[in-house]
Chains A and B, each alone.
Chain A
């Protein structure tokens, strides 16, 4: 149960829950708008340099990108199961599932790191450092800059998400949460799903089409 003072502050348990959900949704809206700037830059430059973007896209490692997509989707399913377990009064199982999801997130980051290493070897670097001779510089350099910005900001969010899931997993395993008080797990889960959904949009525009 949440401490007495909190219920007093809220007036009712319903108000507390609704404020938590609504606050989280508003936060998610700000995250979506944060990425909107990058998506807009991508859209504008893709419409200006369709050929260069296509050429740069063909050099992406689709296999690793797809692997990462599957990793994140799987971890999302695991988190959804974890929330279900905590709500169903099985915090130990929930904690274990949260830690598993965090592990999948770490694997995602490792794969991403491998990919970055390949790009560095090729010279597909952002901005001034661009040395990739296979595709023309004007336009393609923008593609690579946006690639690093999108995946970089996303990786930052994955890192935050992994930390959140780890903390929640440990606390849940030690029995802090249960059916009466699952809000932190629910909100942490929502954050992780957000990270997943953003990747679902990053993946096709950078790797596929």
Chain B
């Protein structure tokens, strides 16, 4: 079934039990990949239901309460069950030890525990969905979340448990990068993906506990009436928003930083060039991780926070654009006069760069408090953060999936089909979310199941785009599943990449390397000799 070549991590024990009790970072990465893909499907189905409801004004397929539950579950699933773990836990687990020449992550048992915590948290959340689901939105704003009669509690508890999984993964990566680098692999030789995962881990470790505490406070308020955020007892709902966004804004960078790492790898591999200004990419990664903690108030411009706070948060938010711009220019500089191969990962990379640039620049406009008043809580904002979360993160996720599919499975996906699907996804995405910018600017508020008839044409366009996206995902799922079994055998390095992870066999053996790898040069070192593109 898998390439007959040598023993690999896939053939080392074929029973289900050997997977469930594995300590192998590669198997754990693959399990996370499977789980996150499943929840991507679930969240996507919720999204599709939302888009179908919005096809016509008035009731299309569901009532208002069902719609509220649906968008809450879409948000919760996509944020905590898919996007947060998607790249760090799945690809990070698989690749970081390979990239730093280690046998495994620092704490393999904790790593396995993080899978089970994720499964437990996801199950509790799913149970909450079957109980009727919360209708608060994924942000659980008080006082609504402490008073609504829907099943908020299981969702809170589920997300709380998933937080532990995130923390364990982050802790593991920090310890791994610090202590398990192969001899000779210094910090400034680390692949950019490793740097990105390292920056992400710092955010995960610092921010997630605050989310845990604030969710616990909301849960306590529901169960025993703790009253921390209850205005009737003098509590301040804005404090909830502060604590929540102290996690949830950096969480955006938990989603985007790993994507940037993927893009840094792919850009070098498919333009056959060294990273343009490696150091600046590294420093901007750390810069984003740091500044990301000072911007949370831009989610609260209309909430009644102080003018001083809003101004400071707005200015800090704009700083993030500088670091992001450094990265975008570095990638462009890498592509410039490179030997470019049009492969599906590169197509997703280009899509990523365009969407990140577009969504990011609009983000700068949103960070100005005056403009924000017009756009706040409209479809504009929905479109903006989907540009970052879908346009950037999902593109990078798909790029990573295609780039490292041969590494993980030993087989290649059909190239032409993959390129076609990538183009379809990119255009489907544009068709879905550009109309939402226009809708928001015209004044369509978010989180409503109903709308006046004159918005319908744009809603129909958006729904049409969403179906195009769904169709694209279906094609990808189809050919990837097919390739797992029947795809062309890839060989060790099908892309001809100089990334460190390609130095071991594909798929890698259980202990990753048969000899101790050496690192005379930095990562993405293409200057040494002409490496032809693989046919």
Contact = CB atoms under 8 A, between A and B. Distances in A.
**Do A and B share a direct contact in the complex (Cβ within 8 angstroms)?**
yes
Interface of A: 8-11, 15-16, 18-19, 22-23, 26-27, 29-31, 33-38, 40-41, 44-45, 48-49, 126-130, 137-139, 141-142, 145-146, 149
B210 A36 contact: yes
Contacts of A31: 209
B234 A29 contact: no
Contact of B175 (A23, A126, A137): A23
Given A30-B208, A142-B235, A18 B179 contact: yes
Given A30-B167, A44-B236, A23 B107 contact: yes
Contacts of A26: 170-171, 174-175, 205
A7 to B, nearest CB: 12
Given A33-B209, A128-B227, A9 B233 contact: no
B374 interface: no
Interface stretch (B67-75, B212-220, B320-328, B525-533): B212-220
Given A11-B180, A23-B107, A149 B226 contact: yes
Given A15-B180, A37-B217, A40-B242, A142 B233 contact: yes
A78 to B, nearest CB: 28
A49 B239 CA distance: 14
A199 B435 CA distance: 54
Nearest to B214: A37
A22 B205 CA distance: 13
Nearest to A128: B225
A30 B168 CA distance: 10
Nearest to A140: B234
Contacts of A34: 209-210, 212-213
B227 A33 contact: no
Given A10-B180, A45-B236, A45-B239, 12 more contacts: A19-B106, A19-B180, A23-B174, A30-B208, A33-B207, A34-B209, A37-B209, A41-B243, A141-B234, A142-B233, A142-B234, A149-B226
A36 B209 contact: yes
A138 B171 CA distance: 41
B146 to A, nearest CB: 11
B535 interface: no
Top 5 A-B pairs ranked by shortest CB distance? A128-B225, A37-B213, A127-B227, A34-B209, A33-B209
15 contacts: A9-B104, A15-B179, A19-B106, A26-B170, A26-B175, A30-B205, A30-B209, A34-B210, A37-B213, A37-B217, A45-B236, A127-B224, A145-B226, A146-B228, A149-B220
A40 B175 contact: no
Given A27-B171, A128-B227, A33 B104 contact: no
Given A9-B103, A23-B107, A34-B212, A48 B236 contact: yes
B206 interface: yes
Contact of A138 (B104, B207, B234, B243): B234
A41 B176 CA distance: 34
B183 to A, nearest CB: 8
A29 B228 CA distance: 24
Contacts of B179: 10, 15-16, 18-19, 22
Given A36-B209, A44-B236, A145 B178 contact: no
B221 A127 contact: yes
Contacts of B208: 30
Contacts of A30: 167, 171, 205-206, 208-209
Nearest to A35: B213
B27 to A, nearest CB: 16
Given A127-B221, A137-B233, A23 B171 contact: yes
B231 to A, nearest CB: 10
B220 to A, nearest CB: 8
